[in-house]
Amino acid sequence: MRSLTSVSIKSKLIIMLLTVSSCSILITAYLGYRSGKLNLTHRVFNQLTSVRASKAYQIESYFKNIRNHTQTLSEDPAIIAAMQEFSTAYSQLQTTNIPPAFDQKLKTYYRDEFLPRLTQTEAGLPILESYLPKAIAGRYFQYYYIANNSHPVGKKDSLDHSQDDSEYSRIHARYHPIFRKIIQKFGYYDMFLIDPQGTIVYTVFKETDFTTNLDNDAYNSSNLAHLYRQIRESKTRDYAKIIDFQAYPPSYGAPAAFIAAPIFNQSELIGVLAFQLPVNEINNVMTGNLNWESDGLGKTGETYLVGRDTLMRSISRFLVQDPEGYAKTLRSLGVSETEINRINQYGTSILQQYVQTSGVSEALKGKQGTRIIRDYRNIPVLSSFAPLRFDGLDWVILAEIDLSEAYAPIYSFRNQILISATLLMLLVTLIAMILANLFVKPINQLIKGTRQVAAGKLDAIVPLETEDEFGELAKSFNEIVRSLHTQTLLVEQKNRDNEKLLLSVFPTSVAKRFQRGEKDLAEDLSNVAVLFSDLTGFSKLSNTLSAYESVAILNNLVTAFDEVAEHYGMEKIKTIGDSYLAVCGLSVPYLDQDKRAIDVALEMLMIVRRFSHERGLPLNISIGINSGDIVAGIVGRNRCIFDVWGDTINLTTALKNACPPGGVLVSQTVYRRLQDLYHFEPIPEKEANTKPQLNGWLLKSIRSPIEG
């Protein structure tokens, strides 16, 4: 009792010492932590503000450079001459006659290449006719430079000269290599020449906006069309304007921004020069060419742009570095799978990721500042934000870093203090803890063994051989475990035997439900394929054989049928003498269950023929196949069986009865679905002489791939 009392007192003393020590440590740590946190926050905010200002300057410089470049090119004599020549050459073909084959191939391109890609990103089903150019010349040039262009999608710009021998093609061959080099050298995505009537008479990249009219055709509501109309209406020299990002259908819905400038010949507006801005250049500036750490942003910092619609205008660092983790974060925030799929498909968060944070809200009001907020991932960050306005672009710029990384040094300092203090307290209480551990060691062993048994490990034996009460308790526990282990093995063996028996009698899905205790099993099944066969000649043959020989023949055939059925996903329902009934689509639905049933039937025909030939037996088989709805369930209580019934089964039986030996007779439903794959013939009248009249089709052969 004195020993137990002493241990109890020691435990209380340990608790008091730990309480006093903890209070002292916590006060000291809090004061140091608070001071360090304020200083570190101020330093990180200054660094973020510096990075943000630097990126803002780079972006503004980039836009100024491309504006100056666009203005300069629009005044270049070569651009002016090209605008005039392309417009004139385009107009010359407005009255030409387009062969029907041209229109047909152009429609085929839209239907097979463009629209399927567009539907992956656009909602609804696009109408083909609405995307085709209305002008004759537009369809003419789209045929030669897009539909009849042998280069793949994305490489159509590789064609310098088409084979139509038109004036336009000669002009194109002269200018196109030069303009292609311009967009490659300066990093533009595409270049456009647009006449005063709104027709895009030339592009480098040759997407489906080539030769369309921005006032009348499919892309009249695109941001390029809006920009063109602003330039046309301004009628001002030395003018260039940028329009914000928007999903651009010719680029399959990818985000696109444009810059454009008017082209004047002396005082006459003869067209508009436009460039599709490269997303990569903006991303390179904002990500520092993917070198965030070199920019002083650590492992979680980033700078990015947001538009007035609160959608990103540059890519998220976390999408670049960890797309799967980024998608997982969006799902946790309730973002729909449709939006996540669009982000993955485009490979960018531009115009896809909403950033509705307090920092964005303040910056859109024209304010700049720094504060701790939750970012678009709902993670606490240090954020520095400011507006970024440039020639119609109402954007904001943010530089952010995760709070956990920014405060990592102070967290480390705090942890060091706590660890040191904890080690000191552990040293004081070490001897008392050793004695306590020696006392509770037998109990811990018993607890460990009990937990192992509770977790299902039924061979857990406690190795405790003391002569005290703990030893007696351990022996009793081990005896209980051994007895439980033996009984569990017997139960598992019995369950395996029962499961094997059930799977041999019932389909897999039905057996599992029966194991769970369901008794009244019945369900309506839609669109399953039913195969019913009869061995012809077996009854007559069995009269000349012994019972053992008859059963052996039948067992061999049924076993072979079972293997074929299992291979093709069919499930045997039952055998009635020499009849064999199987269903496809019972446990596992298939889209091609009718074809699977035909394939099983063909295999069964070969099995019977080979079996008869090898043994010299006069056996054959008649097979009926139907597809439709059935009712399936377990019938009976004491000696239950699984069975199927319904009109589909009845018709299959009739088809089987009407089928000639060695044939496969299918219903009208199966014929209608598989007539493109197999040759069928109507059932002869003498075979169909049943009441009611059967509408069956006799399988003849598989169709050749070259047949219609």
Torsion of CA 465, 469, 474, 480, to 10 degrees: 140
Amino acid type, 307: G
DSSP string, 123-160: SS---HHHHS-SSHHHHHHHIIIIIT--SPTT-GGG--
Bridge-based pairing of strands 522-536 and 641-645 is: unpaired
What distance in Å separates the CA atoms of residue 107 and residue 110, rounded to the nearest whole number? 5
Q: How confident is the model over 434-493, as pLDDT tens digits?
A: 665 666 666 666 677 777 666 766 666 766 666 666 667 767 767 777 777 777 777 667
Burial of 491 (0-12, 13-18, 19+ CB in 10 A): exposed
**What value does the CA radius of gyration of the chain take, rounded to a whole number of Å?**
40
Question: What CA–CA distances, in Å, run from 708 to 215, 668, 677, 699, 701?
Answer: 45, 20, 10, 18, 15
Instruction: Please identify, among 223, 243, 263, the residue that sits at the C-terminal boundary of a domain.
Output: 243
Burial of 530 (0-12, 13-18, 19+ CB in 10 A): buried
pTM exceeds 0.75, yes or no: no
Residue 65 lies inside a defined structural domain of this protein: no
Q: Which two tokens stand for residue 155?
A: 């490489």
CB-based contact 196:269 (threshold 8 Å): yes
CB 121 within 8 A of CB 253: yes
Q: 665: which residues sit within 8 A by CB, 6+ positions away?
A: 622, 623, 624, 625, 655, 656, 658, 659, 683, 687, 696, 697, 698, 699
* Residue 69 confidence (pLDDT): 93
Q: Which two tokens stand for residue 276?
A: 């599709």
Are 361 and 369 spatial neighbours (Cβ–Cβ below 8 Å)?
Answer: no
Last residue of a domain, one of 210, 243, 276: 243
Residue of 249, 243, 285, 256 whose CA lies nearest to 348: 256
Residue 408: both structure tokens together: 């990592």
Give the residue among 285, 287, 297, 286 at the shortest CA–CA distance from 381.
Answer: 297
Please write the tens of the pLDDT for every residue from 686-704.
Answer: 555 555 578 899 998 876 5
Residues of the chain where predicted confidence (pLDDT) is lower than 50? 1-10, 13, 706, 708
Which single residue is written with the structure tokens 């710009």?
A: 157
Q: Produce one character per residue of 405-442: b if its CB has 16 or more CB atoms within 10 Å, e if not.
A: bbbeebeebbeeeeeebeeebeeebeebeeeeeeeeeb
Is 468 among the domain residues? no
- For residues 219 and 226, the answer to whether their CB atoms sit within 8 Å is no
Q: Is 206 inside any structural domain?
A: yes
pLDDT at residue 580, rounded to an integer:
94
Answer whether residue 576 is part of any domain. yes
| CA-based nearest residue to 229, from 256, 269, 175 | 269
Distance CA 232, CA 214 (A): 12
- Rounded distance, CA 178 to CA 349, Å? 33
Kindly state the DSSP code that residue 162 receives in the 8-state scheme.
Answer: -
pLDDT value of residue 605:
94
Pairwise CA distance, residues 283 & 289, whole Å? 8
**What is the number of domains present in the chain?**
2
Residue pair 164/240 in contact (Cβ under 8 Å)? The answer is no
Residue 385 lies inside a defined structural domain of this protein: no
- Residue 696 lies inside a defined structural domain of this protein: yes
Is there a domain that residue 100 lies in? yes
Among 243, 259, 288, the domain-final residue is 243
What is the pLDDT, as a whole number, of residue 504? Answer: 54
User: What domain range includes position 604?
Assistant: 520-702
Note whether residue 225 is domain-resident.
Answer: yes
428's tokens: 């004081």
> Token pair for residue 218?
């499919």
Token code pair at residue 435:
């004695």
**Residue 565: which CATH number?**
3.30.70.1230
